[in-house]
Structure 1
Amino acid sequence: MIQLDRVTKVYPARGGKKVVLDDVNFVLERGQKIGILGPNGAGKSTLIRLLAGVEQPTKGAIRRHMSLSWPLAFGGAFQSSLTGLDNLRFVCRVYGCNESKMRAFVDEFSGLGRYLREPIKVYSSGMRARLAFALSIAVEFDCFLIDEVIAVGDQQFQER
């Protein structure tokens, strides 16, 4: 279960404060799915970051009683001087995953081939996104956080 109890998120803005989420409440039980729709600036990505624990609410509480992924396709935590495989090994250590199984899955799913053995800093943005997406779904979380993931990769990759 994930429970948001009176969650508010406020950011400093020119001339004052910007309230992005205001007194949000909901409970998401295991197996349920929700979609959040709204225009740019409505707080969708902020909500994802709060759920993931990347940011903290200004007020209120978030209770997590299941494992949540990082936002799918988020590659912001990659160490760019390390190879894709080195980053994969790090994720395996953090989440206690079987490295050989994850490597086989990420190798096949990402389609990066020899680039897995190259430093992340030589990857194109699309290659980084494909690696991030493959790593995201290779870890078995109870709940996956998806924020505009449709834009990841070319058409062949999206079909996978």
Structure 2
Amino acid sequence: MKTIFNLILLAVGLLLASCSGQKDNTDNFDINKSTRKEDGQVKASERIDLENKGVGPIQDVMLAEEIDLDRAKEGEVLFNQYCVICHKVNDKFIGPAMKGVLDRRSPEWVMNMILEPAKMLKEDPLAKDLFMEFNGSPMSDMGLSEAQARAVLEYFRTL
């Protein structure tokens, strides 16, 4: 009986200590605060790498000078259906902001990330850095076809 009383007393003490009202360093967290990591390097989400094509089935994407608005509208629908859970257009969220993504990444890299996120995370250094920057949140494989991924890419061109 005395052991049970001591365990209850210990649990109450731990509960009171954890609810002491003291702030921890996460209370003022701002995901958009800085583009530099503590070691002075640019964050993966802000890094520009247009040479990396990623790992996956897409090796070459030819972008027409003019945006295909019908394809972009299809891509917007797909983005709103599958991607907005983790990605916002203008703001970082669970994943990076999509506005200007094609100023930072090659079209091939973007499509490979959409089509093969697990393979990219396993083999692509930039995808690994993004995974770490976004607190170990892996991108989900939404099962999109190449044509659907290309439509999403066309939508990104409009942002």
Normalising by the smaller structure, the TM-score range is under 0.3
TM-score under structure 2 normalisation?
0.24
Higher relative contact order (CA 8 A, sep 6+): 2
Query: Highest CA radius of gyration, 1 or 2?
Result: 2
Name the structure where helix makes up a greater proportion of residues. 2
TM-score under structure 1 normalisation?
0.24
